[in-house]
A and B are shown apart, each in its own frame.
Chain A
Amino acid sequence: MNVKVVVTLKPTVLDPQGITIQRNLETAGIFGVQDVRQGKYFDVEVSDEVAEADRNALVERLARDVLTNPVVENYEIVWQ
């Protein structure tokens, strides 16, 4: 079972990488982009041996306790 975990910086957190990308878009001939926020995603394969009822809790724990730092990041779980 495949699931994607998308991790983004909280809206209040400064994202210097996103700002750098946005500021340099015009030199790439790309106009009209007002804001860029950089995040990351994790492509996760959950073993079939995990009971269906337990999968949500498993991925929730993975996303919350490992893949994000709750002080500065949010996550979203997208089942494929």
Chain B
Amino acid sequence: MKFGVVVFPGAYCDRDCYYAIQTVTGQPVEFIWHRETSLDGFDALVLPGGFSYGDYLRAGAIAKFSPVMRAVREFADRGGLVIGICNGFQVLTESGLLPGALLKNAGTKYVCRYLHLRSETSATPFTSAVEGGQLLSIPIGHGDGNYQADEDTLRRLEDGDRIVFRYVDAGGAATAEANPNGSARNIAGIVNEGRNVLGMMPHPDRSFERILGSDDGRLIFESMVMALSA
């Protein structure tokens, strides 16, 4: 089982992801440069956070034209596991691998803090180790995390059990106050129709050891290992 962390110029959570996967899963992990065109031998990919290509034009917009993204798309089409975290989520929506778009935070501010996520479904390879409805403490750090899509798309996500995480308060309620960025329906993470591509704004790669404030992020990497071992 081999994990790959895609490295775009301007990404800066690549090493966090590498270290998180190595520490949590004990599985081999390699960096993949954005000019790479083959992903042979990999079982799961991470698109890490940061500011790929400076986020010029739009967050994630230039990364979608990088050579590696063509290979990522083929990898995803074949059913390979892809998780996009923060900027990685933005790359996935820009590339059309996930629906919708991530806009500037409604409050205009960059928000960097721990918050509560409610896991909405265990029926994904990224959350099988998480109970439906379980609250997770995982931090965010972004300026463009306001998830928006048209009503049809939101309904499809809802009906298809594809909303994976929501921003909630400490009691687990998805209130407007608990929404850090204005996202439609408090959405923090979604999967594609095939359920093998996850995009999430919060950082499991910053919350996998107690010393970081929470180790809830482990559950996501552990779920991936479970899915790949099955």
Give me the interface of A with B, judged by CB distance under 8 Å.
13-14, 16-17, 20, 66-67, 69, 71-72
Contacts and interface: CB of A to CB of B under 8 A. Distances in A.
Nearest to B153: A71
Given A69-B94, A71-B149, A72-B148, A16 B57 contact: no
A14 to B, nearest CB: 6
A14 B181 CA distance: 12
Given A20-B108, A69-B94, A72-B148, A14 B103 contact: yes
Of the candidates A16, A20, A66, the one having the most CB atoms from chain B within 10 angstroms of its own CB is A16
B67 interface: no
Contact of A67 (B57, B94, B101, B106): B57
The 9 A-B pairs with the shortest beta carbon distances in the complex, nearest first, are A71-B101, A16-B108, A72-B101, A16-B106, A69-B101, A16-B104, A20-B108, A69-B58, A14-B106
A66 B100 CA distance: 16
Contacts of A16: 104-108, 182
Nearest to B146: A14
Contacts of A14: 103, 106, 146, 182
Interface string B87-102: 0000001100001110
B164 to A, nearest CB: 19
B111 interface: no
Interface of B: 57-58, 61, 65, 93-94, 99-101, 103-108, 146, 148-150, 182
B148 A13 contact: yes
A66 B65 CA distance: 9
Given A14-B106, A16-B105, A71-B100, 4 more contacts: A66-B57, A67-B57, A69-B101, A71-B150
A71 B107 CA distance: 21
Contacts of A71: 93, 99-101, 148-150
Contacts of A13: 103, 148
A7 to B, nearest CB: 9
Given A69-B58, A71-B100, A17 B108 contact: yes
A16 B144 CA distance: 11
A80 to B, nearest CB: 22
A23 B50 CA distance: 31
Contacts of B65: 66
A34 B107 CA distance: 20
A20 B109 CA distance: 11
A69 B61 contact: yes
